C-alpha cells in the first residue's frame, strides 16, 4: 500500500485544504508533496503531463498508487468511501456531490472577488473591479450560499449536513465558513444571526479530535493574501446584506 500523495501549491491553504481536511479526519497516511524538498519540481513535472495519459489541469491533484486524479470535488468523492467520510449509498453520494460542487462554485466566486479580471494579473491591477465584484458577493452571494447550507442543516435533522453522520461535505462547509470569516469578517459578523446552525456545525467540526489536532499543528497553514480566502479590508466594506 502506498500513502496518498497530495499535490498542491505550498504556502497556501487554497483548494488543497479541502483535501487535507478529509485526509486528516480520515486518519489517512499522506504526503503533502510540494511542501517537501524537491516536491515542487515533482508537481510541475506531473502538471506537464510527463508519463501521464491524463495530466491534471491544475492542482490540487491526488495520487493513489498508479492513479492520478484532479478536481477538488472529484478527489473528495473518490476518497469518501475509502476514508469512511461518505454516505453508504449511491443516492446519498449524489447529494454529497451536489453540496460539494456548490461549495466549489462558492470557492470560485470567492477567488473572483480579488481576481475578477484575470487570475494571472496582480490584485493591485484589478482593484476597482474587485471592489465592485466584492460588493455584490458580500451583499448577495455569501448570504445566498450560506443561507442554502443553513437550510440543509435545518432540514437534515442534524447534527450534520446529511444527517447523523459526518461526511466530507461538513469538513468543506467548515472550511468555507472559516475562510469567509477570515476574508470578510464584517460581512460575516452581519450574517451571524441568519446562520446559527452553520456556525454550530463549524464549531462541531473544529472540535473533532483529529481536526483539532490538525488545526493546532504546523500542517495547517495560516490564511494569507496568496490563497483563495484573502483579507483585503477594502473588499469587506459593504453595508448591505445584514441580518
Ligand atoms: N475546479 C478546480 C479548480 C482548480 C484550480 O483552479 N486550481 C488553482 C489553484 S487553487 C490553480 O492552480 N489554477 C491554475 C490554472 O487554472 O491555470 C478544482 O476545484 O479543483
Nearest to 176 by CA among 140, 135, 114, 229: 229
pTM of this structure: 0.96
The per-residue pLDDT for 242 is: 41
The per-residue pLDDT for 88 is: 85
Low-confidence ranges of the chain (pLDDT < 50): 240-243
CA of 137 to the centre of ligand 1 (A): 20
Grid cell digits, residue 125: 491591477
CA of 115 to the centre of ligand 1 (A): 13
The per-residue pLDDT for 239 is: 56
Interior CA angle at 43 toward 53 and 179, to 5°?
A: 115
104 lines ligand 1 (CB under 6 A): yes
The per-residue pLDDT for 137 is: 98
Q: How many CA atoms lie within 13 A of 82 on its CB side?
A: 14
CA of 58 to the centre of ligand 1 (A): 5
3-class SS at 56? coil
Interior CA angle at 140 toward 139 and 144, to 5°?
A: 125
The per-residue pLDDT for 150 is: 98
Angle between helices 72-82 and 16-25 (to 10 degrees): 10
181 lines ligand 1 (CB under 6 A): no
Contact partners, residue 11, CB within 8 Å, separation at least 6: 221, 224, 226
End-to-end CA distance of the chain: 50
Of 8, 11, 49, 58, the one to substitute when testing ligand 1's pocket (max ligand atoms within 8 A of C-beta) is 58
The per-residue pLDDT for 238 is: 58
Amino acid at each position: 500500500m502506498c500513502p496518498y500523495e497530495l499535490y498542491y501549491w505550498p504556502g497556501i491553504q487554497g483548494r488543497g485544504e479541502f483535501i487535507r481536511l478529509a485526509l486528516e479526519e480520515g486518519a489517512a497516511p499522506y504526503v503533502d508533496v510540494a511542501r517537501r524538498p524537491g516536491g515542487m519540481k515533482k508537481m510541475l513535472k506531473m502538471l506537464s503531463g510527463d508519463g501521464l495519459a491524463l495530466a491534471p489541469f491544475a492542482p490540487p491533484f491526488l495520487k493513489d498508487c498508479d492513479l492520478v486524479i484532479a478536481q477538488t470535488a472529484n478527489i473528495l468523492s473518490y476518497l469518501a468511501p475509502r476514508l469512511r467520510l461518505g454516505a453508504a449509498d449511491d443516492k446519498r453520494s449524489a447529494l454529497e456531490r451536489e453540496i460539494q460542487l456548490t461549495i466549489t462554485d462558492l470557492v470560485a466566486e470567492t477567488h473572483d472577488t480579488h481576481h475578477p479580471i484575470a487570475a494571472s494579473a496582480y490584485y493591485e491591477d484589478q482593484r476597482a473591479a474587485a471592489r465592485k465584484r466584492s460588493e455584490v458577493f458580500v451583499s448577495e452571494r455569501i448570504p445566498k450560499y450560506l443561507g442554502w447550507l443553513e437550510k440543509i442543516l435545518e432540514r437534515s435533522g442534524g447534527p450534520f449536513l446529511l444527517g447523523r453522520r459526518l461526511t466530507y461535505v461538513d469538513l468543506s462547509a467548515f472550511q468555507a465558513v472559516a475562510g469567509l470569516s477570515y476574508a470578510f469578517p464584517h460581512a460575516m459578523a452581519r450574517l451571524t444571526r441568519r446562520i446559527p446552525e452553520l456556525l454550530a456545525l463549524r464549531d462541531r467540526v473544529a472540535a473533532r479530535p483529529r481536526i483539532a489536532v490538525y488545526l493546532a499543528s504546523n500542517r495547517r497553514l495560516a490564511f494569507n493574501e496568496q490563497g483563495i480566502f484573502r483579507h483585503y479590508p477594502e473588499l469587506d466594506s459593504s453595508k448591505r446584506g445584514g441580518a
